[in-house]
Amino acid sequence: MATKMEELASEPAWTPVKLRAPQRSGLEERFAATDPTLELSRHPLVARILKNRKFQFLLILPNQIVFWTVISIGLAGTVDPGLNFGTAITWYVWFCLVFVMMVVVGRAWCAMCPFGGFAEWVQRRALFRRTQKALGLGLKFPEPLARFGFVLPVASFLILTWIEEFFNIAGPGTPAYTSWMVVGIVSAALLFFLVFERRTFCRYVCPLTTLIGTVGSVGSVAGFRTRDRDVCLSCKTKDCMRGSEDGYGCPWYTWPGSADSNLYCGLCSECYKSCPEGNVGLFLQKPLTSVIAPRRRRIDVAWGIALLWGLVLYQQFNATSAFAPVDNWLNSTLHFPHYPDPVDYLGFIAIGASIVAAVSWAVGRGFASRAVGFVRTGHFLDRSSRFRAFFAPVAYGLIPVVGADYFARQLPKFLQSAPRVVPAIEHIFGFSSTKSSLYSFSLMTNGWIVVTQVAVVLLGTAAAAWATWKIAGRELVPVSRNAIGVRVATVTFALACGAAAAFLYVLMHAAD
Ligand code: SF4
Ligand code: SF4
Ligand code: SF4
């Protein structure tokens, strides 16, 4: 009987293609490009800090204090959002800093996040001790929902952003709204932590997780990885996943033995503490490694990136003068009270995501080898998987420009208003007012803010073009008829995305 490969090879090919057997397999070859070599935890001081059970607690504690202060002052403090510490710190500083952490480090914010941190303390019934019995039901997240991967958290991010826009929370508007939003997030986190096991909320639901995970893959911290994958293969205990006396099993369901990016490492250090072989370390990597190098591209991540791209384009467009008439017309037609109309909100996002999908489809249709066969990665490429084979690499390549676009969106609030945090702090103690010189002090003029935004986007665009060139060379060229054509087409798309974002920033005139 003919083997599958022979059957496929005998199918008529529209253009000749050389069938190649998969290249050398094995751990070394599979992970060579993703395995970082620079280990931070080789330094004795770093190793001691990471082994200490108070490591993550001490990261979370200061944020926990700020977080409860934000809630209290948002509810009880002044109604002036520029002078209220809750709104000032959240919208003028915090969101921007989270983006800096993502781009430079990865999931640094997740390591110190008060939402997940607070819920985890309750779930574990401890601030930092290793307890053996968790509070709550400890259920597994339903498999059909888990299959949505990064798409489910994008849906919760879209809902949260729509609510935020509808009530003008991040404007910033009424300070109490900011408090209620934060209370809503931590309540949802607590509920999930008490119903489901580990950090199900962080992995499958948190509105921020897709954004932090994808944009964070640009960062230079590879996360906690295994030192020798062969040791993991023969390891009998798998304590990094199951937990030991010294540490919890990975709260993020990530096995260091197979991790090839920093996407799902919450930098909690539990695997470092629990591995009995001392086979886990904290590693650094070159920027963009977790975007370019992984061989396993996930379709849920690709859709997550495409939808996030649609959202940021919507936010940019709604800051231009062309947007209001569209939204007003839709609201009067659909009898919706005010901005943002859900139809144009979801419509824009869908269009943005569809453009990424449509371009991927068109590139696949235009360049894919029409013969069927083994490709260099050892996967089959047939017509039904053609879209997936092109969509995932194209979407991953856009991560740097999508990340840069979100970061540039935060700049006006930071550069125009961050100094207000000082009078807002003074106001807690009964000093200061809107007459403080820092209340109306901007770090930059609007003209320079636009220049900075465009520069940030262009930097992201250059990184996206580079990432796309590398990804296309490794993953699309082997399945394409025209090696140069497929690279040029995908890189041109990345450049066009960046050009569109930069152009919108010019039109926005530093509007936030
Ligand atoms: S995924 Fe969300 S809740 Fe979990 S640590 Fe990260 S930001 Fe916090
Ligand atoms: S416990 Fe250590 S050696 Fe065993 S699988 Fe986990 S990281 Fe590998
Ligand atoms: S246990 Fe290890 S792999 Fe899992 S999130 Fe924590 S640091 Fe990352």
DSSP state for residue 493 in the 8-state scheme: H
In ligand 1, the atom with minimum distance to the C-alpha of 117 is: 5
- The ligand with the least distance to the CA atom of 94 is 1
Q: 445 to each of 385, 416, 474, 483, how far by Cα in Å? A: 50, 8, 44, 46
Which residues does 85 contact at the CB level (< 8 Å), separation at least 6? 69, 70, 73, 77, 421, 424, 425, 427, 428
- The ligand with the least distance to the CA atom of 50 is 3
Which residue among 157, 202, 250 has the greatest number of ligand 1 atoms within 8 angstroms of its CB, and so is best to mutate? 202
Whole-model pTM: value is: 0.90
Pocket of ligand 1 (CB under 6 A): 109-110, 113, 115-116, 189, 202, 206, 208-209, 212
Residue 29, pLDDT score = 59
Is the dihedral angle over the CA atoms 122, 125, 130, 134 positive or is it negative? negative
CB 53 within 8 Å of CB 130? yes
Pocket of ligand 3 (CB under 6 A): 223-224, 250, 252, 254, 256, 265-271
- The ligand with the least distance to the CA atom of 160 is 1
DSSP state for residue 392 in the 8-state scheme: H
Is the dihedral angle over the CA atoms 453, 456, 459, 463 positive or is it negative? negative
| Nearest Cα residue to 454 out of 413, 496, 510, 494 | 510
Residue 337 Cα to chain centre, angstroms: 32
In ligand 3, the atom with minimum distance to the C-alpha of 249 is: 1
CA 266 to centroid of ligand 2, rounded, Å? 17
CA 281 to centroid of ligand 2, rounded, Å? 11
Residue 9, pLDDT score = 38
CA 486 to centroid of ligand 2, rounded, Å? 40
Query: Along the 512 residues of the chain, how does pLDDT read in single tens digits?
Result: 444 444 433 333 333 333 333 344 455 656 667 778 899 999 999 999 999 999 999 999 999 999 999 999 999 999 999 999 999 999 999 989 999 999 999 999 999 999 999 999 999 999 999 999 999 999 999 999 999 999 999 999 999 999 999 999 998 999 999 999 999 999 999 999 999 999 999 999 999 999 999 999 999 999 999 999 889 999 999 999 999 999 999 999 999 988 999 999 999 999 999 999 999 999 999 999 999 999 889 999 999 999 999 999 999 999 998 898 999 999 999 999 998 999 999 999 999 999 999 999 999 989 887 654 444 444 455 666 788 889 999 999 999 999 999 999 999 999 999 999 999 999 988 876 777 888 889 999 999 999 999 999 999 999 999 999 999 999 999 888 899 999 999 999 999 999 999 999 999 999 88
Given its phi and psi angles, is residue 269 left (phi above 0), alpha (psi -120 to 50 degrees) or beta? left
Parse the chain into domains and list their residue ranges: 36-289, 299-508
CA 138 to centroid of ligand 1, rounded, Å? 18
Q: Where are the beta strands (DSSP E) in 379-479?
A: 380-381
Residue 434, pLDDT score = 75
Residue 217, pLDDT score = 95
Residue found under tokens 């209220």? 84
Residue bearing the CA closest to ligand 3, atom 8: 265
CA 149 to centroid of ligand 1, rounded, Å? 15
CA 384 to centroid of ligand 1, rounded, Å? 35
